[in-house]
């Protein structure tokens, strides 16, 4: 039986040419000489086998006697499997109507997958759907013919819609908040991957902060600042009204945790020139009304209606100083507000805490804007270090003092405790005290509070003086340090000052903010700014130093007068339209010296263009 099957398989795998039947011989009538003749009958008239493909089935017709069986080419396709009489076949082979043909396809099922993601602030839960299309395959229909090539065709299919009810139930089981059901339903229907915020927490409702609303006051044009400013108010005038705030409502995130109400900006501080009475802010003195985000005050003004000379003495004023003329040689002005000069400054010293504004020129003078920032920027870290060190020292000194009071020799031994602690455990305090009392910038000459603090530290906390220190002495110096630190901090937190003038020559100008020269330019002057220096005209000789930016039309002279421009920040910028020889530019640690004239020079972060 096995041999019969083997022969059948070999017969099935033979080529159509090999299976062609032998020619049929027919006897013809006798020839003229009386001998019969034999002739091969042609096979062209025989009907060959045929095959058609219809709805994934092979329709096979066998050939007539003498015809050739139909053939089929089965591609080596991973999605198609063709079995002939139980044998997997690929390539070209013949088929008969009696064969069992089984056709299978590797279908790819579509996928719809849902995942969840919580936002970083825990106020939203995002639902993401990943849709992967599937494919169903079938054979391309082919009309009846002798040879057929099987070709597969794929049709893209999409997964069934998701169940919105199931997703909503899962969300509400794990998270808290408001569900966007319509968004979830859309997500279940779409045929492409997407993500939506499906559940939202309840955001906190911001409160309305309390504020002081300024009362409309008459304004006058300020030619110095080129803006409108409030005219002078008199004592007893209401300058602002208090409006109470509205409290906010806390929220809830998707995990059910409370979300606090955001903090609002603090209510403005009231300066010494105003007072609040029954919700009204009233001026306590004559002066100019100041209303900013952090302060409400009435600042006194000193108006000098003539030229200021050395005969007028030193002008030291707690407020703004306005000079309606020229500040002449030998004059001195120091103001806690701003200084406005409607003429020029010649050979004088002018200090304005909130800025110095000059209509004309500054010649041979020393001008400082925002002097507190400049003076105390190095002192403040020293005071803070000393205050922090004394806090730690006071805690340990107090504990040991309480224990030491039980000793029989406490009266003679306890005054030595501070000296022993500083020598054995608080050597850092000894160093910061030495740094603070050094006063290399001579601040004590003009600051009474600093002079008092330094005197106390030198007398009681250095040398032999610290061998007799009591608990009340520690408390006293701690109070002095904390009070002075707050005083310096308040001085340094004032509005950033500016210095503005048309031109300057042979002068020294310093500012804790910006410096602007709006006219012809600077000549042989030293100019320093904590922010930027902008010169519309020329800078001839001298030096410019700024933290972030220096901009000028022309730097240096044709004859090569040495002129320097330095920006301290490594990512700062120097921009010039014309640069003459012998001019030094520096940004951060990178510097360049020009030997020839240049135009449109920009030095930014160490790169020149």
Number of separate domains in the chain: 3
Specify whether 517 is located in the same domain as 538: yes
Q: Can you tell me the distance from the alpha carbon of 191 to that of 205, in angstroms, rounded to the nearest whole number?
A: 38
Give burial (CB, 10 Å; 0-12/13-18/19+) of 228: exposed
* φ, ψ of residue 129 in degrees (nearest 5): -115, 130
481 sits in which H/E element = helix 471-492
SS3 179: strand
Residue 300 pLDDT:
85
Going by C-alpha positions, the residue among 333, 338, 357 that lies closest to residue 287 is: 338
Specify whether 381 is located in the same domain as 485: yes
**Domain membership flag for residue 131:** no
Strand partners, 269: 295
* φ, ψ of residue 179 in degrees (nearest 5): -95, 135
Residue 18 pLDDT:
45
**Domain membership flag for residue 205:** no
SS3 182: helix
Answer for the pair 560, 584: CB distance below 8 angstroms, yes or no.
no
Going by C-alpha positions, the residue among 571, 572, 570, 573 that lies closest to residue 552 is: 573
Answer for the pair 286, 235: CB distance below 8 angstroms, yes or no.
yes
Residue that finishes a domain, picked among 474, 490, 506: 490
**Domain membership flag for residue 305:** yes
Residue that finishes a domain, picked among 434, 467, 490: 490
Q: Count the helices and strands in the chain (H runs, E runs).
A: 10, 50
Going by C-alpha positions, the residue among 70, 68, 75 that lies closest to residue 97 is: 70
DSSP per-residue codes, 393-439:
HHHHHHHHHHHHTTSTTHHHHGGGHHHHHHHHT-HHHHHHHHHHT--
- Looking from the CA of 332 toward its CB, the CA atoms found within 13 Å total 5
SS3 40: strand
Specify whether 502 is located in the same domain as 587: yes
Residue 606 pLDDT:
55
Going by C-alpha positions, the residue among 567, 571, 570 that lies closest to residue 552 is: 567
Helices 427-436 and 448-460 meet at what angle, rounded to 10? 140
**Domain membership flag for residue 102:** no
Task: Collect all residues with Cβ–Cβ distance below 8 Å to 602 and sequence separation of at least 6.
Answer: 573, 574, 575, 576, 608, 609
Going by C-alpha positions, the residue among 14, 214, 215, 194 that lies closest to residue 117 is: 194
SS3 102: strand
**Domain membership flag for residue 565:** yes
Residue 372 pLDDT:
77
- What b/e sequence results for 135-161 when a residue is b if at least 16 CB atoms lie within 10 Å of its CB, and e otherwise? bebebeebeeebebebeeeeeeeebee
Residue that finishes a domain, picked among 469, 490, 511: 490
Answer for the pair 82, 102: CB distance below 8 angstroms, yes or no.
yes
* φ, ψ of residue 386 in degrees (nearest 5): -65, -40
Specify whether 556 is located in the same domain as 572: yes
Residue 43 pLDDT:
43
**Domain membership flag for residue 550:** yes
**Mean pLDDT for each consecutive 10-residue tract of the chain (609 residues)?**
33 43 45 45 68 92 89 91 91 90 90 92 93 91 92 90 91 91 91 92 88 83 62 86 91 91 85 90 88 85 89 85 93 89 94 91 93 78 90 89 84 86 86 85 76 87 84 89 83 76 95 92 94 94 94 92 92 91 90 83 69
Answer for the pair 81, 103: CB distance below 8 angstroms, yes or no.
yes
Going by C-alpha positions, the residue among 46, 75, 50 that lies closest to residue 60 is: 50
Specify whether 368 is located in the same domain as 380: no
Residue 45 pLDDT:
64
Specify whether 514 is located in the same domain as 597: yes
Q: Between the CA of residue 569 and those of 56, 285, 356, 532, 588, what are the distances in Å?
A: 78, 43, 25, 11, 5
Q: Between the CA of residue 529 and those of 198, 355, 443, 544, 605, what are the distances in Å?
A: 54, 12, 20, 8, 18
Strand partners, 601: 576
Residue 548 pLDDT:
92
DSSP character at residue 571: T
Specify whether 544 is located in the same domain as 477: no
Specify whether 363 is located in the same domain as 399: no
Specify whether 513 is located in the same domain as 411: no
Range of the domain at 349: 301-372+496-608
Q: How many CB atoms lie within 10 A of CB 608?
A: 13
Specify whether 567 is located in the same domain as 501: yes
């Amino acid at each position: 039986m096995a041999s019969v099957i083997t022969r059948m398989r070999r017969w099935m795998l033979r080529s159509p040419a090999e299976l062609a039947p032998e020619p049929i011989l027919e006897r013809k009538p006798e020839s003229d000489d009386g001998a019969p003749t034999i002739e091969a009958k042609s096979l062209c008239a025989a009907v060959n086998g045929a095959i058609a493909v219809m709805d994934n089935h092979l329709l096979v017709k066998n050939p007539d006697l003498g015809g050739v069986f139909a053939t089929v080419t089965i591609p080596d396709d991973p999605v198609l499997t063709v079995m002939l009489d139980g044998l997997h076949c690929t390539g070209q082979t013949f088929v008969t109507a009696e064969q069992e043909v089984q056709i299978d396809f590797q279908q790819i099922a579509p996928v719809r997958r849902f995942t969840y993601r919580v936002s970083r602030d825990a106020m939203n839960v995002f639902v993401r759907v990943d849709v992967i299309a599937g494919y169903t395959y079938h054979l391309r229909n082919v009309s009846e013919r002798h040879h057929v090539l099987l070709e597969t065709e794929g049709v893209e299919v999409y997964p069934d819609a998701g169940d919105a009810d199931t997703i909503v139930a899962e969300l509400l089981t794990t998270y808290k908040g408001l569900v966007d059901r319509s968004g979830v339903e859309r997500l279940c229907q779409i045929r492409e991957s997407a993500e939506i915020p499906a559940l939202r927490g309840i955001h906190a409702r911001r409160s309305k902060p309390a504020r002081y609303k300024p009362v409309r006051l008459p304004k006058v044009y300020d030619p110095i600042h080129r803006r409108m400013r409030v005219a002078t108010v008199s004592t007893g005038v209401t300058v602002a009204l208090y409006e109470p705030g509205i409290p906010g409502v806390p929220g809830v995130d998707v995990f059910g945790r409370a979300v606090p109400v955001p903090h609002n900006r603090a209510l403005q501080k009231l300066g010494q020139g105003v007072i609040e009475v029954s919700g009204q802010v009233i001026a306590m003195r004559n002066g100019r009304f100041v209303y900013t985000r952090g302060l409400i005050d009435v600042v006194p003004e000193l108006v000098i209606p003539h030229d200021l000379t050395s005969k007028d003495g030193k002008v030291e004023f707690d407020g703004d100083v306005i000079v309606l003329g020229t500040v002449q040689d030998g004059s001195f002005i120091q103001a806690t507000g701003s200084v406005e000069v409607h003429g020029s400054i010649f050979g004088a010293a002018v200090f304005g805490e909130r800025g110095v504004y000059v209509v004309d020129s500054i010649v041979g003078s020393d001008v400082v804007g925002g002097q507190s920032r400049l003076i105390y920027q190095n002192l403040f870290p020293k005071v803070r270090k000393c205050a922090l060190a004394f806090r730690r020292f006071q805690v340990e000194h107090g504990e040991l003092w309480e224990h030491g009071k039980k000793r029989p020799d406490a009266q003679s031994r306890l005054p030595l405790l501070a000296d022993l602690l500083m020598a054995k455990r608080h050597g850092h305090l000894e160093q910061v005290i030495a740094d603070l009392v050094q006063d290399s910038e001579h601040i004590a000459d003009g600051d009474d509070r600093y002079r008092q603090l330094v005197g106390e530290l030198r007398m009681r906390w250095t040398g032999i003086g610290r061998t007799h220190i009591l608990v009340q002495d520690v408390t006293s110096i701690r109070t002095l340090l904390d009070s002075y630190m707050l005083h310096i901090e308040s001085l340094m937190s004032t509005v950033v000052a500016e210095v503005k003038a048309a031109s300057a020559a042979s002068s020294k100008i310093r500012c804790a903010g910006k410096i602007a020269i709006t006219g012809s330019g600077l000549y042989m002057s030293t100019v320093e700014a904590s922010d930027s220096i902008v010169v519309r005209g020329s800078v001839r000789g001298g030096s410019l130093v700024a933290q972030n930016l220096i901009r000028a039309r022309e730097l240096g002279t044709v004859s090569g007068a040495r002129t320097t421009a330095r920006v301290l920040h490594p990512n700062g910028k120097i921009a010039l339209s014309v640069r003459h020889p012998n001019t030094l530019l520096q940004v951060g640690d990178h510097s360049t010296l020009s030997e020839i004239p240049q135009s449109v020079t920009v030095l930014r972060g160490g790169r020149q263009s």
